[in-house]
Each structure stands twice: as C-alpha cells, then as structure tokens.
Chain A
Amino acid sequence: MANTVIGSTIVIDGEITGDEDLVVQGTVKGRVSLRENIFVEESGVLEANVETATITIHGRVTGDVHASERAELKSNCRVVGDIRAPRVLIADGASFKGSVDMDA
C-alpha cells in the first residue's frame, strides 16, 4: 500500500516530489513529480501537471499527465488535459478531454 496519503479534507497548493506511491483523496494544486504510482481516488482532485511512472484516476484530474509507464482512467473519472504515456487505458464511463500521445 502506498505510504503517502493526501486525505479528503486536505488541500495542497504547491509541489509534491518524491519516490513513493501517492494516494490522493483530497486536493492537490500545482505540480506533482514522482517516480512511482499515483492513485487519484474518487474524492480526489488533481489540478496539476503530473509526472509519474503510473497513474490511476478515479477522481478528477485537470492538467497534463506524463506517465512513463501507464495511465489508467477508470469509469466515472473526469480528466481534462493531455496524456502522454506508452500505455493508456480508458474505461467505459470515463470522461476525458484532451489529447493522447502514446509515443512516449
């Protein structure tokens, strides 16, 4: 399980960097740069440009996402921004606005 959890009432305005999994249940604005996995849960809001290995989105993401391995948009998620990842999975029911680049 992930070590870092941003709880549902937490708002972070700024920058998160690091080398471990990140679970977002609250709100993160700014920039996120990780070499591990990001989970945006249903209550989670990410208004940030994201760099990561993998990202799994159940909640809302606004911003560009660059995943070096995989980006997964689950049903009921809402994503606005460009996605760059070698593997992009979009589930039925996901809402996505932006472009996808799988050359990365």
Chain B
Amino acid sequence: MARMPTASGGPIAGSTIIGPEIRVLGRVTGEEDLHVQGRIDGAIVLTETLFVAPGGVVSAEVDALNVVVSGVIVGNVTARDCVTLHAGAKLVGDITAPRLVIADGAAFKGNVHMGGEPDNAVAARSAARARPAPAAAPRRQLAPERAPAPPRRATPARAEPARPEPARAEPARPAPARAAPRTPRAEAVSHADDEATVIVRHSEVAAGEDAGSRAAEDAAPVPEQTRFRGVSATRVPSRPQQEPEATSKGKLPARARIPKPGKRRVNRR
C-alpha cells in the first residue's frame, strides 16, 4: 500500500488507518497500531501505538501504549510508555505517561502526570480536578478573613445545623453570595498559574482540617497572589500579623522575591 510518509513516522502498512475523509463516532479498541488521519470522537483504547497524523483530529479519551501526535487531540491521554508531541501537534487535556516528549512547535494545555508521586498526592490531585470549586474556595476566602475572621466563621457554624449537608462544604464557602463576586479574580490567578499549585493547596486543605490547616492555607497562597498583583500594598503589611510562626520557611524568601518585580512594574507605569 503506497502511502505518503507522515510526520508521525513509522510504517503504516499492516495497521489500522482512519483516512482523512473518515469520521468515527464512538469507541475504538484494538491491539494494533492506529493511524488517525481523519477524525475520531469518543474513546480509544489500544494495546499498541496511536498515531495522529497532521490533519488528524482525535476528540477522545485515549489509552494506549504510545501516543504520537502530529495532529490534534482534545481529551485526556494515558500512555503506558511514551507520549510524543511533534511540531504542529496540539493537545488539550491531561497527560499521564512515564515518558513525555514535546517538540518545539507543539502546543499543549493540561496537566502532566509522569508518576513518581506518592499515591495520596495523585488522589488529591484527581479530587481537586473533579471538584474545582472547593479547591478554589479557600483562596477566595483569604482576603476577607484576614481582618474580621471571628464573626465570619461564626456564620457558617450557625447555619450548619439547618443544613443536612456534609460539614466539609461549609468551611469552604461561608457565604456563597460573598464568594460569587470574587470568583473572576480567583480564576484569573488560577489560569495564570499552573494548576499544580492549586492541587497542592487543596491537598493541604484535605490533610489538615479547618483551623489547623488554615495557617498553612494562608501561608501557601499569599506569596503567589502577591506575585501576580505585584503592587497590592494592602496585602503586604497585613501579612506579618496573621502568620506569626506558621511558615517562616516558605514566607521569607517569597517576600524577599516579591517586592522587587512589583516595584519595577510600578516604575514602568
């Protein structure tokens, strides 16, 4: 079968090809290489290698031995061996693979999990991904809680008996009305930052309950927020009172780092 070579490389004969004019909607499973030059929507489970040729579009959860992309994949990709993104490739989704190669010119958006993490970190991460709202909630709380913390935290405590819901949701958002207007700001931060920090923070929240972890919560996000809003003068002075000894380790270098870019930015403007 004469065939033009693809950027994904490898011989095509003897394997499965979804040609450029073909669209598959549904689930594709198999035990041989699959070359996608057309389009697949749904799910792909292979014991061998998935090749997405230039022009090929895969909008699916992918599970394969290797995934070699020169086209587009939208969906989470799990490879038992290696994921390779060639120049021109575009991948939107999370990658789970022990090996990942991203060439210059490839576009990728998502999380990468290469293993080597303890299992509980993985679990916390997937939990954070599954419930993005609770993960973001503690951060939204930070600013208001700094000054009038006691009255606000009394509010959910009072409301709690009325609701049969699990107590976990309560401390996360004391008042939904208050959290709502702040959402855009919190999201802007999380978009700009990599999601890994969100996850770490969430696992901290999960590990220690409420008050015990609150100090840690405060300590972790603050340097980051300051980094993004370089010149928030109100935040910087308020910090020393709040966290006396919670994380002297993480705080000091962070503060030393932060004011400089902030000041520079101010000067430019």
Contacts and interface: CB of A to CB of B under 8 A. Distances in A.
Majority-rule SS of A interface residues:
strand
Interface string B30-49: 11111001100010000000
A33 to B, nearest CB: 10
B126 interface: no
Given A6-B16, A10-B16, A10-B34, A20 B21 contact: yes
B19 A14 contact: no
A91 interface: no
A6 B44 CA distance: 13
Interface in A1-38: 1-22, 26, 30
B24 interface: yes
B29 A11 contact: yes
Nearest to A34: B22
A11 B30 contact: yes
9 contacts: A1-B2, A4-B38, A5-B17, A7-B14, A10-B16, A12-B24, A14-B28, A16-B22, A16-B24
B32 A9 contact: yes
A20 B25 CA distance: 16
Contact of B18 (A4, A8, A14): A4
Nearest to A6: B16
A17 B28 contact: no
Interface of A: 1-22, 26, 30
B17 A4 contact: yes
A15 B38 contact: no
Contacts of B37: 3
Contacts of A12: 24, 26-29
The size bracket of the interface on B is: 20 to 34
A1 B1 contact: yes
Contact of B25 (A6, A11, A17): A17
Contacts of B255: none
B15 interface: yes
Given A3-B22, A13-B26, 10 more contacts: A4-B18, A4-B21, A10-B16, A12-B28, A12-B29, A13-B27, A13-B28, A14-B26, A17-B23, A18-B22
A10 to B, nearest CB: 3
B61 to A, nearest CB: 13
A2 B2 CA distance: 11
B20 interface: yes
A4 B22 contact: yes
Given A4-B38, A9-B32, A10-B32, A15 B21 contact: no
A1 B1 CA distance: 7
A14 B15 CA distance: 20
Contacts of B25: 14-17
Contact of B24 (A5, A15, A26): A15
B108 to A, nearest CB: 27
Contacts of A2: 19
Nearest to B42: A14
A18 B36 CA distance: 13
A17 to B, nearest CB: 5
A21 B31 CA distance: 22
B32 A18 contact: no
A7 B15 contact: yes
A83 to B, nearest CB: 23
Contacts of A22: 22
